[in-house]
């Protein structure tokens, strides 16, 4: 436990979360937009005094450890290791699991491999030609060092000898990284004669590589690019190159430009467009979009304007919309990719990114270029392509905007487009499974529960104004809130935060839930009134509940035991009436 406390004492949760979420002061706490669910108005609260956070929208909450774990999708050992490093705490009592140690060793091997490739490129004679190649492509020495670009020598056992013979890593471990492949005659390097791009996770660990073949080592059998295989560390669908380096720019711009490959990224960075990542030829996955949604709310696709690029854009709409992000497209009409464009006109790249159009405008523009809308055939073709997209738009205002645009383009009334849309959507619905409504409904929260939380919120935020003595705790239900209030009444603490530190863990949770809640703003008089109002209603609800239980029991017991229960019922009724004066 010592390690955890040490780390917690040295890192401030408001500073830490503030690096990931824009926080604004809200009373004693801070609030911002929740990074764990999509929301338009902030319900994510952070407390400096309690060093906790809580989202009242999705329920996520906890301390700095839970935040980092959730945010980065890590296990606890990984979390404590990272945070201890950030806090400058040396872990002493931490007992890593076997699984954790294996993962650490794989990370270490990747780290060494990246150093090996980088050293080979920048310091050894075999790196001279590859360096020239990079220079010809416009890559600067600063970029080579910032991104730790490397070169995998064109031999069978360069890296494997370094890792296995020299660094003495067990073959089995090295093999697990996918960098070295075992064969009948021993082992050999996966990457040979390639420029190496280290692939980093969002924590800055190298978890894989992408290797680009060089013109003079290229033959028909070698792919232009090869990647690390899927390993424990590397999941292609969850990684974007080089998000670790560009995420700050993405957050600042609140948007990300998506290009195809590594060289497009490097060019874009040189041209000053820094909020950029590469999808590497594949379609944008749900996981990638989810990852990006942590940093920004607009995705700008800058894919080749060929049919493959258009198809990729169409596929992206669904995933991006599901994440409730905006989607725009950079129109690269001259058939150039970002890399080529930057080389000839770096300013133009900045310009076209700024001019990115809404994705539906992009499709309309493309359809218009491809078909002659003055002819019946042309109109039909455009409608056929665009109407299914119109049907997908969830925001009705945006949809209406494009219905009008399409109608204008085709020279018809908007109603005609709408009729065609409904005809097509009916066709689509047939055969589709009905949506499961039950899963979207959340559990109803009882009135009593809400009142109790409001009660504790008032007690915490207006501690000096409320008079706890007016509470008869025996008339409250047996809940965490009641336990906290009972303790406060007994201890009569001077400082409610100090008091909270003495609560057992299961009560701290409830305390924080209410501490992080934003209380209604009241005058002293209003606080007292509201406070007594709640106590009275809570008591009445509790007593009513007790009464119905007693009556139920009365119906079941033998006649000779009835007297006792009737007596209890009477007591409850008296207590109940004592609250009625407040109505």
Q: Which residues bind Zn ion (CB under 5 A)?
A: 34, 36-37, 55, 57-58
Q: Please answer whether residues 568 and 554 qualify as being in contact, where contact means their C-beta atoms are separated by less than 8 angstroms.
A: no
CB of 11 to Zn ion, least distance (A): 22
Q: Please answer whether residues 10 and 88 qualify as being in contact, where contact means their C-beta atoms are separated by less than 8 angstroms.
A: yes
- Among residues 47 and 366, whose Cβ is nearest to Zn ion? 47
> Between helices 346-354 and 262-270, what is the axis angle to 10°?
100
Q: Looking at the DSSP assignment, which residues form a beta bridge with residue 26?
A: 29
- Among residues 55 and 164, whose Cβ is nearest to Zn ion? 55
In whole angstroms, give the CA distance from residue 19 to residue 125. 42
H-helix segments, 218-285? 243-253, 262-270
CB of 21 to Zn ion, least distance (A): 11
The label of the residue with tokens 């560390």 reads: 233
CB of 37 to Zn ion, least distance (A): 4
CB of 56 to Zn ion, least distance (A): 8
- Among residues 43 and 391, whose Cβ is nearest to Zn ion? 43
CB of 5 to Zn ion, least distance (A): 27
- Among residues 213 and 325, whose Cβ is nearest to Zn ion? 325
CB of 53 to Zn ion, least distance (A): 10
Q: Residue 296, SS3?
A: coil
CB of 271 to Zn ion, least distance (A): 36
CB of 291 to Zn ion, least distance (A): 17
- Among residues 58 and 381, whose Cβ is nearest to Zn ion? 58
- Among residues 21 and 292, whose Cβ is nearest to Zn ion? 21
CA nearest neighbour of 328 among 254, 396, 423, 270? 254
In whole angstroms, give the CA distance from residue 188 to residue 171. 11
- Which two structure tokens, joined as six digits, stand for 339? 């890399």
- Among residues 57 and 346, whose Cβ is nearest to Zn ion? 57
- Which two structure tokens, joined as six digits, stand for 338? 């970002």
The pair phi, psi for residue 186, each rounded to 5°, is 120, -125
- Among residues 55 and 476, whose Cβ is nearest to Zn ion? 55
CB atoms within 10 A of CB 86: 13
CB of 35 to Zn ion, least distance (A): 8
Q: Looking at the DSSP assignment, which residues form a beta bridge with residue 61?
A: 54
CB atoms within 10 A of CB 142: 10
- Among residues 55 and 539, whose Cβ is nearest to Zn ion? 55
CB of 57 to Zn ion, least distance (A): 4
Question: What DSSP letter does each residue of 319-360 carry, written as one string?
Answer: HHHHTT-EEEE---TTS--HHHHHHH-HHHHHHHHHT-EEHH
- Among residues 58 and 412, whose Cβ is nearest to Zn ion? 58
CB of 310 to Zn ion, least distance (A): 35
- Which two structure tokens, joined as six digits, stand for 504? 């057992």
In whole angstroms, give the CA distance from residue 120 to residue 195. 10
In sequence order, the 6+-apart residues with CB closer than 8 A to the CB of 549 are: none
CB atoms within 10 A of CB 30: 23
- The gap between the terminal CA atoms of the chain, to the nearest Å, is 51
The pair phi, psi for residue 323, each rounded to 5°, is -85, 5
- Among residues 18 and 57, whose Cβ is nearest to Zn ion? 57
């Amino acid at each position: 436990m010592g390690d955890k406390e040490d780390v917690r004492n040295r890192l401030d949760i408001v500073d830490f979360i503030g690096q990931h979420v824009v926080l604004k002061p809200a009373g004693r706490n801070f609030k911002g937009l929740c990074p764990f669910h999509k929301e338009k108005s902030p319900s994510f609260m952070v407390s400096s005094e309690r060093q906790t956070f809580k989202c009242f929208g999705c329920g996520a909450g906890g301390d700095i450890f839970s935040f980092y774990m959730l945010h980065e999708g890590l296990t606890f050992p990984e979390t404590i290791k990272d945070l201890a490093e950030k806090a400058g705490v040396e872990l002493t009592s931490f007992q890593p699991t076997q699984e954790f140690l294996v993962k650490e060793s794989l990370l270490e091997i990747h780290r060494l491999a990246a150093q090996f490739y980088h050293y080979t490129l920048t310091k050894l004679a075999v790196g001279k030609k590859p360096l020239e190649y990079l220079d010809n492509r416009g890559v600067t020495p600063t970029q080579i060092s910032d991104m730790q670009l490397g070169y995998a020598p064109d031999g069978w056992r360069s890296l494997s000898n370094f890792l296995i013979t020299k660094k003495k890593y067990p073959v089995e471990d090295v093999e697990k990284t996918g960098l070295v492949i075992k064969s009948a005659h021993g082992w050999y390097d996966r990457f040979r004669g390639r420029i190496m791009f280290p692939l980093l996770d969002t924590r800055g660990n190298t978890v894989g590589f992408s290797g680009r073949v060089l013109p003079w080592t290229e033959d028909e059998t070698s792919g232009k690019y090869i990647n690390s295989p899927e390993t424990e560390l590397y999941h292609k669908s969850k990684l974007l190159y080089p998000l670790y380096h560009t995420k700050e720019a993405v957050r600042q711009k609140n948007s990300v430009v998506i290009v195809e490959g590594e060289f497009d990224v490097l060019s874009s960075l040189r041209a000053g467009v820094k909020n950029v990542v590469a999808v590497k030829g594949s379609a944008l996955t749900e996981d990638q979009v989810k990852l990006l949604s942590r940093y920004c709310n607009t995705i700008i696709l800058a894919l080749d304007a060929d049919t493959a690029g258009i198809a990729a854009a169409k596929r992206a709409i669904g995933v991006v919309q599901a994440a409730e992000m905006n989607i725009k497209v950079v129109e690269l009409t001259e058939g150039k990719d970002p890399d080529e464009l930057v080389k000839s006109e770096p300013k133009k790249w900045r310009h076209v990114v700024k001019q990115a159009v809404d994705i539906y405008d992009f499709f309309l523009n493309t359809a218009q270029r491809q078909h002659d809308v003055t002819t019946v055939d042309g109109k039909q073709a455009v409608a056929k392509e665009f109407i299914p997209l119109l049907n997908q738009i969830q925001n009705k205002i945006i949809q209406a905007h494009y219905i009008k645009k399409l109608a204008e383009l085709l020279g018809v009334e908007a109603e005609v487009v709408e009729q065609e849309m409904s005809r097509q959507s009916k066709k689509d619905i047939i055969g589709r499974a009905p949506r499961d409504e039950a899963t979207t409904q959340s559990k109803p929260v009882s009135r009593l529960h809400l009142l109790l939380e409001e009660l504790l919120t008032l007690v915490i935020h207006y501690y000096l104004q409320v008079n706890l003595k007016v509470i008869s705790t025996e008339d409250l239900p047996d809940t965490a809130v009641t336990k906290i209030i009972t303790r406060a009444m007994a201890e009569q603490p001077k400082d409610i935060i100090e008091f909270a530190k003495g609560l057992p863990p299961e009560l701290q949770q409830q305390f924080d839930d209410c501490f992080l809640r934003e209380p209604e703003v009241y005058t002293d008089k209003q606080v007292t009134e509201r406070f007594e109002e709640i106590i009275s209603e809570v008591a009445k609800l509790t007593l009513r509940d007790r009464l119905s239980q007693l009556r139920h029991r009365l119906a079941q017991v033998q006649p000779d035991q009835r007297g006792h229960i009737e007596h209890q019922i009477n007591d409850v009724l008296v207590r109940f009436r004592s609250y009625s004066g407040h109505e």
